[in-house]
Amino acid sequence: MANAEGGALVVGLSEGQVEGMDADVHGRNALIRASVEFCVPPVRTAAEPVPRINRDGQPDHLLCLRVEPDDVVHATHARVVFLRVADSNYNLSFNQRQQLLYDKGQVVYESGGVAGATVDDLDLEPVSDYATSIDAAGLESLLNARGLLIDHTPAIAGYLLFASHPEDRYLPAHVRVRVSRFLGRERGLGARQQLERDERVEGPLPGMLLRVALLVDEWQPCRRELGASGRFEALPLVPTDAWLEAVVNAVVHRSYSMSGDHIRVDVLDDRIEVESPGRFPGIVDLRSPEAVQRFARNPRIARVLADLHFGQEFGEGIARMFEEMGLAGLDEPQYVQTAGSVRVTLSGRLRDQQMDQRLPDEARAIVEALRQARRLGTGELAEMLQVSRPTALGRLHAMRELGLLRWVGQSPRDPRDTGNSPVSDSNGPSTWRAS
C-alpha cells in the first residue's frame, strides 16, 4: 500500500461480523509492529483502535492501520517489492521497481502545500457540496481527513479541486483542458487548418470536468445506425462512457508538476483524441493497456473525484473503455506514450466494417441491434425482425455457428439455454450478445 496509493487495513472483522481484537493483545501488537519489523525501510503507519460491539454483544475494538503513500520504494527483508493495485498484490521486476521509484516523486507532489495560499483561496460552496454528498460534518475537518489541508494551508490536491482559480500564479502547471472541434478527419496546418470551435476550460477540477463533458457531448458528430428499437437512430460517434472515462483519467492522472502544457481533447469527424501531460503512472505494458498495473499519480484527487462519482478508484478505467468500445463494435482504444505525455484515440470506425458489409441485411441488423443494446432476448429480436420466435431462433443459431453471436446464460444447465434445440427456448427467455 505504501508503494501504491496508501489505504487502510481494518482487522477484527469476519464476514460482516465484528470479532474484535481485545482478546488477542499479543496479535494486535504484532500487527502494529509488522510495518517496522518486516519492511525495508519501515512503512509509516498510524494504528487506531475503533470501538465496536462484537458479535457476542460485548464492548470491543477493531484495529485500523492507516498507510500513506510514500516517496520511497519499500521492500520485504527478502528484498521483494510488492505493489498493491485494486485488490491484488504484484511482485515487481527490477525494471518495474525503477519505474515505480521515478513515479514516487510524482505521487508526493499533490500532497505538498501551496506556498502563499490560504483557506480563503478555496471556494467553500463546492467544498460544502462535497461534504453534503458524503455526509461529512465540518468542512475543515473533512479537508484535513482527505489530506487536502496542511496546517491550515491548502495542499496542492485541495487547491486543484476547490480553489476558485487553480490556474493562477501559485502553481506551475497550466490547469486547464482545451477542447477543440476540427472539421474532417485531419487537423490541417496553417491556412488549411480545419479548426471550427475551440474552448479553454479552467477552474476547479470537478466543475472543469462537467464543462468539458458538456462540450464533447455537444460537439462530437453522430452517425445513423440501426438501434435496439429496430429503427435507424442518431447515435454518438463514440460511446459516452468511453470518452468520458478517457477525459476523467486524463484529469485524475496527469502530471500537475509539469509546467507549460495542458490536457487536450480533440474532436474530429471520425475520432476523439485525449492527450494528457505526463507518462503512464505505475507499471505499464502498452501491448496490453487494458491490463495496465497502475497506481494513482494523484491519489487524493482520485479519492475526491470518486466520492463525487467521476470515477470508482477500482483501477478498471482503461479496461472499461475497451469494453465499451467493443460493445459498440468499434476499434479498440489506441494508446501512444511520448516522452512527456499519453494520448488515447477513440475511433468511430466499426471494428468489423468490411465483414458487416458482406452480411445479409437481416444479419447485419441483428448484429447492429445487439451492439447498441448489448444484449437482447429471442422474443425481442423476433419482434424486431417481424418473424415468429422459432424462425428467429433458427437464424440466431446459424449466426452463432458462424461466430457472429453468443448466447449468454447463468450456468451450463440454465433453463434458458438454447444450445441443443429450439425447444429448450420455451423454458425461458434467451439472451444474446454480439461476439
Q: Are 264 and 275 in contact (CB under 8 A)?
A: yes
Q: Tell me the Cα Rg of the chain.
A: 26
| Least confident window among 72-81, 170-179, 359-368, 404-413 | 404-413
- Would the pLDDT of 218 be above 90? yes
**List of residues 6+ apart from 392 with CB closer than 8 A:** 378, 381, 382, 385
d(CA 251, CA 262): 10
Residue 191 binned pLDDT confidence (cut-offs 50, 70, 90): confident
Percent of the chain scoring above 70 in pLDDT: 77
Omega before residue 299 within 30° of 0, cis:
no
- Would the pLDDT of 201 be above 90? yes
DSSP for 46-83, written as a single string: EEEEEEEE-TTS-EEEEEEEEE---SS--EETT---EE
Q: How much is the pLDDT for 151?
A: 82
- Would the pLDDT of 169 be above 50? yes
Q: How much is the pLDDT for 290?
A: 59
Secondary structure E strands in 54-192: 59-67, 75-76, 82-85, 88-91, 149-150, 153-154, 176-182
pTM (2 decimals)?
Answer: 0.63
**Mean pLDDT, rounded, of the chain:** 80
- Would the pLDDT of 85 be above 50? yes
- Would the pLDDT of 285 be above 70? no
pLDDT in tens, 294-345: 566 788 898 899 888 886 544 567 888 888 888 888 888 998 888 788 999 9
- Long-range (24+ apart) CB contacts under 8 A made by 196-201 are 200/176, 200/262, 201/176, 201/177
Q: Are 297 and 278 in contact (CB under 8 A)?
A: yes
In a 3-state reduction of DSSP, which class is residue 322?
A: helix
Q: How much is the pLDDT for 424?
A: 36
Comparing 217 with 429, which gets the higher pLDDT? Answer: 217
For residue 228, give the nearest of 326, 332, 328 by alpha carbon. 328
Residue matched to cell numbers 444474446: 432
- Would the pLDDT of 267 be above 70? yes
d(CA 13, CA 19): 6
Q: How much is the pLDDT for 359?
A: 63
Residue 278 binned pLDDT confidence (cut-offs 50, 70, 90): confident
pLDDT in tens, 344-356: 999 988 765 555 5
Q: Sign of torsion, CA 275 281 287 292?
A: negative
225-234 mean pLDDT: 65
pLDDT in tens, 21-51: 999 999 999 999 999 999 999 998 999 999 9
Strand partners of residue 376: 432
d(CA 26, CA 46): 18
- Would the pLDDT of 176 be above 50? yes
Q: How much is the pLDDT for 261?
A: 85
- Would the pLDDT of 426 be above 50? no
